[in-house]
Amino acid sequence: GAVVSQHPSWVICKSGTSVKIECRSLDFQATTMFWYRQFPKQSLMLMATSNEGSKATYEQGVEKDKFLINHASLTLSTLTVTSAHPEDSSFYICSASVGGSPRNQPQHFGDGTRLSIL
């Protein structure tokens, strides 16, 4: 089945540093990738949608300059949390899709990244 690799799975860093999270589709070409944020015991909140080679579309309330998304190829999207602060601590999940009607699954999810800012 389709596999999405997300790295790192857990990162702890000091306040003020920037953190990059990678999302790779390993065995298919993803036309669209999604980035979600999830707080404990809550649902997935869509942050942005990115299509290969174009700028990401951010959801209302998500700071573009804080959460930089790059989707340079059909198999790789990155989320960079710039100048991270403790309030950015959360669980971040990426997913990838090939678009069109879902024959099996609409989106293939990565395993998530737990980000802790000290």
Chain contacts with other proteins (rule: CB under 8 A): 31-32, 34, 38, 41-44, 46, 49, 51, 91, 93, 95, 97, 99-102, 105-107, 109, 111-112
CA distances (Å), origin 66, targets 14, 17, 58, 95, 101: 16, 12, 11, 20, 33
Task: Tell me the closest approach of the beta carbon of residue 32 to other proteins, in angstroms.
Answer: 3
Beta strand pairing call for 90-97 and 32-38: antiparallel
Task: Tell me the closest approach of the beta carbon of residue 16 to other proteins, in angstroms.
Answer: 27
Task: Tell me the closest approach of the beta carbon of residue 83 to other proteins, in angstroms.
Answer: 26
Report the SS3 class of residue 55.
coil
Nearer to other proteins, 14 or 103 (CB): 103
The tokens describing 88, both together, are 């950015």
Nearer to other proteins, 60 or 65 (CB): 60
Nearer to other proteins, 8 or 106 (CB): 106
Q: Give the 3-state secondary structure percentages of the chain, helix then strand then coil, rounded to 5.
A: 5, 50, 45
